[in-house]
Structure 1
Amino acid sequence: MPAGFSRSIHAIATDGHRGSIAGVAIGAVLLSAWLAWFFLARVGRYEASVSARLEVGQAAHRVEAPLGGKVAAVHLALGAEVAAGDVLIELDVEPLRREIDDKQARLEAIAGQMGPLRAEIAARGRALRDGEEAARAHVDEAKARLREAEAGARFQEIEAERAVRLRQDGLVSEAEAARLAADALSRRSATEALDRAAARAYVERRAGQSEQQAELARLDREAATLEGERLVLEAAIKGLLAEIDRRKIRAPIAGRVGDITVLRAGSFVSEGDVVAAVVPPGELRVIAEFPPNSVGRIRAGQEGRLRLDAFPWTEYGTLSTTVDRVASETQEGRIRVELGVRPDPASPIPMQHGLPGSVVIETERVSPASLVLRAAGQIVRVRGGAGG
């Protein structure tokens, strides 16, 4: 019995010694593996954005009201596709249309006056030309009669002079010579009367022509006044039509309505109010903002993952991104980073402008030992700064 107990104790001691050796060996292997991982393995170091947003390559265009007024009609729908120049909102133009109607009525009245006035001007012009031709014919006739009377008077004067010579020779009686002298004087007086009548007719003709020309000039001035008023009214109507067109707020570019201001007929807008935003078509990109301590760590070409707030990454996954550009200076304590996004056809996430989220970028791969040493260095610096 004592011999058997002794052998049992010896066996237990031997097994315990062997177990200790095996435990030490396993521990050494695990420690070696951990040290190898700690110093040789590479783990990613990441920078997370403060904010991120999906945007198209071109900035969205804000649609502003060019002037203030009451809204008459709204043709806006969020997400609707629009072409450049499409009317989005119409402002009230009723007062302008009433003013156009008034001016149009005045134009029609002027047109009604211009027709008869032009006809009268044409008729008076023809009458003036006909009167001038008739006056010239009358003058020519008077001149012909004057020449005829002048010839007759001259003949009678020659006959009277001949009768005087014959009377001196006793060949003609005194009575005959006196008669011939009287006839010559009568013919001369008649000739002078015709001359004065021709002069009077010429003066009267010129006076009549002057009156007709003055009346014609008055009618021309009246027509010119009406024509000037017509041109002014037409220019005013054009200006009012342009003003009506200005009261149609149009899409500045083709694209999709990305944002709208709630408006309805009867609402009022002021000049410069933003009523909508049109997102142009184009490739989407990610605009992210990082804390300032990321400067120097983020570089073009680095890979990242985009997580959208509206689509939890645990359910919908993430989108792959690549850093395109990094701002060289901070703005408002943040650094701007632009990333290209690679859409995944199999992903249920919609690629839509304006979706917010966050971006995580792998900036480097280092060993865990390096991370521990960096953390220790930061702790030492912080404590050293606090102690100083």
Structure 2
Amino acid sequence: MVNQLFRREAIEARRDRLTGTVVAATPPRAGIYTILIVGICAAMLLIVTLGQFASRARVTGVVAYDRGIARIYPPAMAEIRAIHVQEGDMVQAGTPLLTIALSQGRNADGDGVASQLAQISRQDDELARQQQLGTMLGASETQGLAQQRDSLRAAIASLKRQAVIAAEQVRIAESQGARAGRLARASAGSVRQAEEAKGIILTRRADREAIEERIITQQEALRSTEAQITQRDMGTSQTLSQIAGRRAELAAQRALVLRLDRLVLTAPIAGRVGDLIGQVGSRARPEISLVTVIPNDSRLEAWLYTPTRAAGFVHLGQEVRLQFDAFPFQKYGAGRGVVTEISRVPTDANAIDPGLKIDQPVFRIRVRIDRGTSKPGAADRPLRPGMTLAANLVLERRSLWEVLLDPLLRALRG
């Protein structure tokens, strides 16, 4: 039997022993925990004291020129006959831009301008016929009244002569009556003869009064006839004047139609030619602008539309963060701007670009775009009017301690 030098238990214990030096584990000192807790509390206190909380509102808008742009529209469906400018040209007010034709057609059936001119000619011929008939009718009625006036004048003259004769007859009758009265008083004549002489005097006087009455009646008729002649002349003149005015309107309409056949659109303001739509021979619609003119010294800016609940917190000079839809801010970064103007009255949603999907009254905020404040690709990218964008407006900044203690402060105020 072989004697073992070490016991089996000792050999197994040595085989399973861990490699390294055994060190006794002692917990860290309490001071370290104290310093750590104090540091965390100090950091939290610093954050609560100096930190701020900002309430924001996200609004939408478009890029536009600060001085606006002039859009030139055709007044109706038209055909472009000539283009006198190119995009980028500088023009003065009144410079010809396009020549268009609003109407076409020269066939025998009267299409286009020919049809309008034929209709105007028919209307003018009818008015000319009415004018001629009015002149003839007025002259005929005036002539009839003039003849009636002449007859009345002749009758009045005759009655006046009769009045002279009647007056002479009255004088003779009165003379005879006076002689008969003297004879009767001298017993040289009878009383009956004197009475008969008085009756003759009365009869002659009645005849003279009747003639005077007829003269007055005829004079009234003469004045009425002369008034009718004057009224008829005025009525005829008024009718002919109205017809002449309508013919003048037709003449102006004819001249307008002839001008519309070749209408030259000019620049309303001085500036640079922007978008030029269409080409020679293409059709133009009245709801689509053919060319735009950008005023000189115009700059691009952002027009933001904010709801009424946020408009009261916006102020001039406020910085705004702009995110252009054409240049995603995740890739190109965001632009910066400064509020330069806030509208005093709300803008109707119907007057805003439908693409912004605004369905309530909003206030317009004009923002000056700061170039060079963002990395290349955002505001430094070539912007164009009409581009849509979004912006973050800071409505209110409050300290964190005010936010945290707000319920308590409200309770104390209550």
TM-score, normalised with respect to structure 2: 0.45
Q: Greater CA radius of gyration, 1 or 2?
A: 1
Report 1 or 2 for greater relative contact order, CA contacts < 8 Å, sequence distance ≥ 6: 1
Instruction: Identify, as 1 or 2, the structure richer in helix.
Output: 1
